[in-house]
Amino acid sequence: MQPGKIWIVDDDNSIRWVLERALSSAGMECTSFADADSVLTALAQNTPDVLISDIRMPGMNGLNLLNNIKQNNPLLPVIIMTAHSDLDAAVSAYQQGAFDYLPKPFDIDETVALLERALSHSREQNQPTRNPQALAPVSDMIGEAPAMQDVYRIIGRLSRSSISVLINGESGTGKELVAQALHRHSPRANKPFIALNMAAIPKDLIESELFGHEKGAFTGANQVRHGRFEQANNGSLFLDEIGDMPLDIQTRLLRVLAEGQFYRIGGYAPVKVDVRIIAATHQDLERLVAKGKFREDLYHRLNVIRMQLPPLRDRVEDIPRLTRHFLQQTAKELGVETKILHPDAEMALMRLPWPGNVRQLENICRWLTVMAASQEVLVQDLPPELFEPHHAETGTAIPANTTPVNTIPEDWPQLLAHWATSALENGQQDLLSEALPLLERTLLNCALKHTKGHKQEAARLLGWGRNTIARKLKELGLE
């Protein structure tokens, strides 16, 4: 078999070099381009098996290049990569016909595997040739963590579909926000999005809320009421906390999904509806099925596509950006100045377990906007209860008398990576000369404090000799 021909388009020479080296080692034949115009010129003479392009480049960007290619070479698989990884970039790429979406920084092995899949797809020549849809309004979803990239991919891949989706995630992870994004980036985007929380409605009212009632159906039914299904006709119905739905209502819901029609309470004429169901729960539905508390047939009807939303503690790298967003949003809402987090306060937030997830972080930001004394938020400005041991269900709360610099959290490498990434993005160089003295100074201070100033004992705790600690005290200005 001939080696696969891969064209790489990126204005960053280092990215081109890394991809060329990795893909060539995997037996692929690579050609690189620094801009989209050069690619279009080359496409007039030849065609690769797969093209991988950056999204942001001088001149024509990657999405415009993708659109041009889909018009003239609809069978060519195109992979879009970007360092600006967000939902809109992913959805835009998928809606315009991209084979896949690759956020930077990328894993080499995963990238090679992706290119191999694209090559196989190219050889089978079965890529659909659908027309791209217009991009829906900008989403409020924020996150660059790998787990969020998986969420974006699913939303992008479902952007031409009205298939049922089941969203799993802890309370506060943003299940309704994801449901809204699924609706906005779907063929039903211009139709109603109706939400109903099963846990917030009294059980004896759920049937009326969902299916409506006829005039005179029961005491107090003075007029016809259209339920949520009718309100969502041709659009999407979001059923939050579906695990709390009573079994008798589950039976009615299953019938509606199977037949596409229902009867209002007290009604005799069927009401036909075309509704996409997006369900969500924080519970384990399989366990509820096993206990007989959730219908197995309804579970399988809803569980066509499942999305698992990550808890905030599994995407701590998103906390700084989320915090800035919530602080700006709250300040705008209240008409006050926007608070700014001190780096130590930011790191403190990144170390918390966040049992309430993103919703809890948003509430903390609202509290800080009102209660913090100055514009810059320090560690001591954070709500005291965040640092109390009982606050952390996972046992990782920060003790009230410490700060992030003099404790070593389990996620310390992750925090260090966050600092290093930010420093590199800001153009900082010679990172070791800054990080190592800070690390040594911090550890030495802690050891001296622990030994009440006894230098030899501090040296022993740190694994240093007597001469080493004397030299370090001088170098670090701690004499």
pLDDT at position 388 is 65
Cα separation values, 396 from 75, 399, 402, 450, Å: 51, 9, 13, 22
pLDDT at position 411 is 56
Q: Which residues pair with 291 in a beta bridge?
A: none
- CA angle 366/367/372 to nearest 5° reads 115
What parts of the chain have a pLDDT lower than 50? 126-139, 390, 392-408
pLDDT at position 10 is 92
pLDDT at position 324 is 92
pLDDT at position 84 is 66
* SS3 at position 65: helix
Q: Which domains does the chain have, with CATH numbers?
A: 5-125 (3.40.50.2300), 151-308 (3.40.50.300), 312-386 (1.10.8.60), 431-478 (1.10.10.60)
Length of the chain: 479
Residues 447 and 462: beta-carbon distance below 8 Å: yes
Which residues lie closer than 8 Å to 305 by C-beta, 6 or more apart? 154, 158, 163, 164, 165, 166
Burial readout 452-478 (b: 16 or more C-beta within 10 A, e: otherwise): eeebeebbebbebeeeebeebbeeeee
pLDDT at position 400 is 41
pLDDT at position 306 is 92
pLDDT at position 395 is 40
pLDDT at position 137 is 33
Which 8-state DSSP code applies to residue 110? H
Rounded CA separation 62/72 (Å): 15
Closest by CA position to 157, among listed 190, 122, 181:
181
Cα separation values, 157 from 81, 150, 305, Å: 16, 11, 11
Q: Which residues pair with 102 in a beta bridge?
A: 81
Rounded CA separation 225/248 (Å): 21
pLDDT at position 119 is 86
Q: Does the N-terminal peptide bond of residue 105 adopt cis geometry, omega within 30 degrees of 0?
A: yes
**Segment 202-215, tens digit of pLDDT:** 888 888 889 888 88
